[in-house]
Structure 1
Amino acid sequence: MSRHAAIDIGTNSVRLLVADVSESLSHAPRLVPVLRRLQMTRLGEGLAKGGRIRPAAAVRTAEAVAKFAALAASEGVATPVLIGTHALRAARNPGVLLTRVTLPVRILTGDEEARLGYRGVLAGLGPFRLAARLLVADIGGGSVEITWGSRGRIERSLSLPAGAVVLTERFLAHDPPSATEIAALREHLTRAFERSLARPPGRPLRLAGVGGTITTMAAIDQRLSPYDPDRVHGFTLSRRAVDRITADLLARTVAERRRLPGLQPERADIIAAGALVLQHLMASSGVRFMTVSEADLLWGLVLEGSNTRTR
């Protein structure tokens, strides 16, 4: 058994996973989380409009990274793997953050992000390895990653700049959003997802979801207060529940959303846009139920690091 750590520098939050990985010739590597942390720093604040990372957001994010690196070291991992996603891919000035971080940061392509997330889901939801047709969706703050696979093998993946922070800043200016804003965002999502999520005829499809929007929707559906990852992981989220929660979120102000059980107050301003993405994703894929996973990109990164070190 070996211990590894990974830090995900996302558009909305910074996340840490420290985990022990057991290697065996007789079965796939097994991952046991030791420490998980999340801090919302909103690195992508204003990015959709200006194309640049704001200095204040870079400072907040760098401080969170330093804190999480120290936590990893206290758990026995001196050099965690650091990755960046949409905000660092899209920004014209990624150096405003990278120069403040003392460890090297690997900026993932959208395809890499999608594939690592798929691997994490398979590690966390073991039976899904046998699914004849599996779609994994990751709704983040800056982008949405979608990966198709069959019996544990990846067939195709794509990344769309349609995350909850990006879409909120681009489309939802009023509080609560106006009917015109909601209609414009729905039209945008229809164009984005209609072709890419067309369901192949005659093939069964299972849908697994990761990312802050999806885990939050599962927590709201269960009215979890405080948030409980053990009750979120493996939870079945129905399209009917997604439709109901989305309508409720869109009708509320940000202040009203903050009081909802299951919703972290820091997500209140972006959850409505994320919920619309999830609603369109489920409708376009033709699937009525989604299995929610806490195992995601970070799990994939830890497993990748484990494989690299044991070769």
Structure 2
Amino acid sequence: MERVAIIDMGSNSIRFIVMQVADNKSYHLEYQQKEAIRLGRGMSETGKLNPEGVERALACLHVYKHMMEVMQVTKCIAVATAAARNASDGEAFIERIKQETGIEIEVISGEREAYLGYLGVVNTIDERNYVQFDLGGASIEVSLVRDRKIVESVSVPIGAVTVTDAFNLGDKVTPAAIERCCAFVRRKYEEMIPWAEGLNLPVIGVGGTVRNLAKMDQAQTNYQLSRIHNYIIPRRRFEETYTSIIKSNLSSRKRMKGLSSERADLIVAGAIIINTLMEFTGGQNIIVSGCGLRDGVFFEYYGETYGYGDGYKGPIIPDVLQESVHNYLLSADRRMEHLERVRTLALSLFDQLKRSHGGTRRDRSLLEVAAWLHDSGKVVNYYDHARHSAFIIAHAPLYGMRQLEQLRAAFIAGFHHGISNKIMRAYRYGMMLTPEDWKKVRRLSLLLALAEASDVTYEGVVRRIDVADDEEAVVLSLRGKKGEDHSAAEFEMKSYCKQFKKEYGKPLIIMWQKG
């Protein structure tokens, strides 16, 4: 086992995380801390780091050093970005950190910063073609990704802190100041990222500003999930939020729902930079990433040190969803043979009953996630573990799914012991799915229930299920080895016949064929 500490010192904030890598190569976040340090405050006038920010950063780093000793961290990877990179006294500051704390920090280039941010996104969001931005205090990294590969990447020297200072946007702003700032930002884009104009691709945003915009959107729409990663802000709602931000003063911004008070003075500049980028690229929606540079640092280290399934080594995960579920399974003691049998039979039922349930290829993937994790709730309590599994799946760090897709996978698992109105009412997020979504969830959860019932004894007595599906009925022919006692599996599976007829509109007949 090893613990890897990652420090990301930016222009506005400093972040510290500790990732644990177990002996079986599974990994999880063990600790994290973030502080606003404002290193870049006033740098546009002085060219130097903010003195108070320097002292705040050092105080944080002393704490992080102690935490690494207490947690027995075996490796520390520390990076600094735009403020330390651009300040005339940046190099001296990095040397002072080494002398006072013993922590060696690498000042990375804008291109390297963009690449690490890209690794954080490409390994946690399942999009193939997109424009990505990572907005910090002193720069914005903009990248073009085609077929999951980065093809263009530029660090533009405009950030939420420096633009706030340059145009005096911290408190009340005038229309003239907004107009000058928008024109300045657009000129920077025209000069430095001409390849991004009019791409009309999805836009994925990283950084504290876009995360705050997501929280504001969630508060305004009464969104029930308190998750940011892979949250989508529609362009229309973003423009409404943008308009309200630029028309407000600091005092009123501090009262806006979802907006952190420590970012209220920077949000105007940040919103202008993002809105201008959306207009410039023709992006329609913003996909918000909670993962960025620090996650990219970890994925680069982990991928090159340990690799991902089938011996693949490299910083980019081949299949985000599959790797994420696999890693989660390895992080706890699971009956893997049972889970593999349930998964295989559930997907077999899905494929053979496609005409009746009408599910898509994506629905098949969600069923697979539910099958792998349907028993995860047993770590809470065996009783009602299906409901606990649903909660865990809905909130676990599973990547490669949209938020509502993750909910659907959670609900599929939640009903794998049968569907009841009592359980339905217990789901806090049930109203987030449409009636059509629920219809699919109920039908797919029955396939999972039948697959699990077939292995109720964990002996693997059902080796294969052949399906005959016509207008009159669905017949399941169960196949296993001669001489095995299949009575428990058959009894358990038949308990779902009534529910099957209700959801699929035709009777379910279960037969046994040996050999």
TM-score, structure 1 length as denominator? 0.88
Aligned to 1:17: 17
Aligned to 2:47: 51
Quote how far apart the aligned CAs of 1:248 are: 1.1
1:76 match: secondary structure: coil
Mapped to 2, the partners of 1:5 and 1:174 lie a distance apart of 34
Quote how far apart the aligned CAs of 1:54 are: 3.0
2:137 match: secondary structure: coil
Deviations 1:133-155 (A, max 9, x none): 22111111110001112222111
Aligned to 1:146: 142
Quote how far apart the aligned CAs of 1:230 are: 5.4
Flag the 1:183–1:304 CA change in 2: closer, same or farther, 3 A: same
Equivalences for residues 161-176 of structure 1 within 5 A: 161-173=157-169, 175-176=171-172
1:100 match: secondary structure: helix
Equivalences for residues 103-118 of structure 1 within 5 A: 103-118=103-118
1:284 counterpart = 2:316: no
Q: Residue type of the partner of 2:187?
A: R
Bigger helix fraction: 2
Mapped to 2, the partners of 1:16 and 1:285 lie a distance apart of 33
Q: Using CA pairs below 8 Å that are at least 6 residues apart, which structure has the higher relative contact order?
A: 1
1:81 match: secondary structure: strand
Mapped to 2, the partners of 1:234 and 1:297 lie a distance apart of 16
Q: Is residue 78–residue 105 contact of structure 2 (8 Å, CA) maintained in 1?
A: yes
Flag the 1:97–1:223 CA change in 2: closer, same or farther, 3 A: farther
Q: Is residue 138–residue 210 contact of structure 1 (8 Å, CA) maintained in 2?
A: yes
Aligned to 2:268: 272
**Structure 1 residue runs of 4 or more that deviate by more than 4 Å after TM superposition:** 21-24, 197-201, 307-311
Equivalences for residues 28-47 of structure 1 within 5 A: 32-47=28-43
Flag the 1:230–1:70 CA change in 2: closer, same or farther, 3 A: farther
Which of 64, 70, 73 pairs up with 1:74? 70
Flag the 1:13–1:87 CA change in 2: closer, same or farther, 3 A: same
Superposition RMSD in Å? 2.5
Quote how far apart the aligned CAs of 1:40 are: 0.2
1:88 counterpart = 2:88: no
Q: Residue type of the partner of 1:124?
A: T
2:141 match: secondary structure: strand
For structure 1, list consecutive stretches of 5 or more residues without a partner in the other structure: none
Mapped to 2, the partners of 1:59 and 1:104 lie a distance apart of 17
Mapped to 2, the partners of 1:213 and 1:73 lie a distance apart of 32
Flag the 1:122–1:230 CA change in 2: closer, same or farther, 3 A: farther
Q: Is residue 140–residue 159 contact of structure 2 (8 Å, CA) maintained in 1?
A: yes
Flag the 1:74–1:230 CA change in 2: closer, same or farther, 3 A: farther
Deviations 1:13-52 (A, max 9, x none): 001122245799xxxx975322222100101111111101
Deviations 1:283-310 (A, max 9, x none): 1111111211111100011122334545
2:283 match: secondary structure: coil
Mapped to 2, the partners of 1:33 and 1:300 lie a distance apart of 14
Mapped to 2, the partners of 1:257 and 1:90 lie a distance apart of 30
Q: Is residue 170–residue 268 contact of structure 2 (8 Å, CA) maintained in 1?
A: no
Q: Is residue 123–residue 295 contact of structure 1 (8 Å, CA) maintained in 2?
A: no
Identity of aligned residues (%): 28
Q: Is residue 21–residue 32 contact of structure 1 (8 Å, CA) maintained in 2?
A: yes
Q: Is residue 197–residue 285 contact of structure 1 (8 Å, CA) maintained in 2?
A: no
Aligned to 2:251: 255
Which of 191, 194, 198 pairs up with 2:187? 191
Q: Residue type of the partner of 1:4?
A: V
Quote how far apart the aligned CAs of 1:244 are: 1.3
Which of 203, 210, 217 pairs up with 1:221? 217
Q: Is residue 62–residue 97 contact of structure 1 (8 Å, CA) maintained in 2?
A: no
Q: Residue type of the partner of 2:97?
A: R
Deviations 1:224-245 (A, max 9, x none): 8xxx995111100122222111
Q: Residue type of the partner of 1:264?
A: S
1:156 counterpart = 2:155: no
Q: Which stretch has the larger CA shift, 67-76 or 110-119?
A: 67-76
Q: Is residue 89–residue 109 contact of structure 1 (8 Å, CA) maintained in 2?
A: yes
Mapped to 2, the partners of 1:23 and 1:30 lie a distance apart of 7
Flag the 1:108–1:30 CA change in 2: closer, same or farther, 3 A: farther
Q: Is residue 170–residue 266 contact of structure 2 (8 Å, CA) maintained in 1?
A: no
Which of 242, 249, 252 pairs up with 1:246? 242
For structure 2, list consecutive stretches of 5 or more residues without a partner in the other structure: 307-312, 314-515
Q: Is residue 19–residue 31 contact of structure 2 (8 Å, CA) maintained in 1?
A: yes
Bigger strand fraction: 1
Aligned to 1:178: 174
Deviations 1:99-146 (A, max 9, x none): 034211100100000000001001221x22xx1x22111111110001
Quote how far apart the aligned CAs of 1:205 are: 2.2
1:291 match: secondary structure: strand
Mapped to 2, the partners of 1:200 and 1:280 lie a distance apart of 11
Deviations 1:227-273 (A, max 9, x none): x9951111001222221112111122112211222111111111110
Mapped to 1, the partners of 2:291 and 2:149 lie a distance apart of 17
1:80 match: secondary structure: strand
